[in-house]
Amino acid sequence: MSVNVGTIDRILRAALGVILLYLAFASGLPFFETGLVKFLAIIIGLVLIATAAMRICPLYSIFGIKTCRR
């Protein structure tokens, strides 16, 4: 797989991933205390951080999207 995630996209993915992990673990909001919502927030947050770190998004590859300059 080739790199298909640009810099701004990486920053937004990483920030949203960190926010979701914070909401799931440390926010104390009642909405994120339920099992399913908390589980989904953790999974989505980890996926966003992983795709930001690897600069590869499988969904972008499927749809032929590239947000990087190369």
pTM over 0.85: yes
Residue 52 CA to residue 17 CA, distance in Å, equals 9
pLDDT computed for residue 70 by the predictor: 66
The DSSP symbol for 31 reads G
| pLDDT digits 0-9 by tens, 16-34 | 999 999 999 998 899 888 8
Residue 9 CA to residue 25 CA, distance in Å, equals 24
| pLDDT digits 0-9 by tens, 54-66 | 999 999 999 999 9
Q: Is the pLDDT of residue 50 over 70?
A: yes
Q: Where are the domains of the chain?
A: 7-63
